[in-house]
Structure 1
Amino acid sequence: MKKNIFTSSVLILSLAISLIFSSCKGHGDRLKITVNETDTNYEMTASYNEDKTPKVEQYLSQYVPQTAIFKPGHPSEIRVTLADKSEFNIKSTPGELRINLDKKLNTKTSLNNIKRISKELKDILQ
């Protein structure tokens, strides 16, 4: 009987701790930025606090002619062509961003521009 009470107590405590940590997820400072580069592709993904979305959107608006990249609750995916003919995709939701550039469709200068934009975004998010 005591073993069952002990086991039940441990399970309830474990469940309570799990609920506390899962309810805190997404609150506080969460930042994850990854860059993957292959011979044919460059991709930067960022996961960050949603409250930083206006800063990211403001920064990207310098380069992206479309407005409202981030639509609340709905993913947005746009193809961007810059003045220098760089072409890349942006996929976003508040707190999430992915920039993808196909190297076969772009010049080395275009790739370097996207790398610079990615670095500046990283600086904004940190």
Structure 2
Amino acid sequence: MSDKKLQILTISLSRHLTGHPINDIITKNWSQAPDNQANRFNNVGFDFDGKNVTGALDQLKETLAGHPWDGILVGWCIRGKPEHTAIFERIMAVCIGFSRGHPEAKVLFCTGPDNLVEATLRNFP
């Protein structure tokens, strides 16, 4: 088994909606993970700016292009509310564009802010 950490980008509206940066939520989730599983992953949060969607999409494209991501986790706060459907569709278009050039990259989905670890481990057992 390789010592290389799997690179996971987590895209979230958490900061925009609640004021909590996604990196804080990621850190909390992984601190409760079983059996030192966090050591296998480098999780990076991406706080999507829901007020400047075009600018946030451009930043997302840059972030994706600048790193060899193994997984892209799209947060529940983006896809779980009907009023965010248009943002979700645009984010997914960017993720699909990235995955065309990186077919090994997985797109992951969680069911809420307490499910980030489970979603990651489900896709990278």
TM-score calculated relative to the size of structure 1: 0.30
TM-score calculated relative to the size of structure 2: 0.30
Using CA pairs below 8 Å that are at least 6 residues apart, which structure has the higher relative contact order? Answer: 2
More helix by share: 2
More strand by share: 1
Question: Which structure has the larger Rg?
Answer: 1
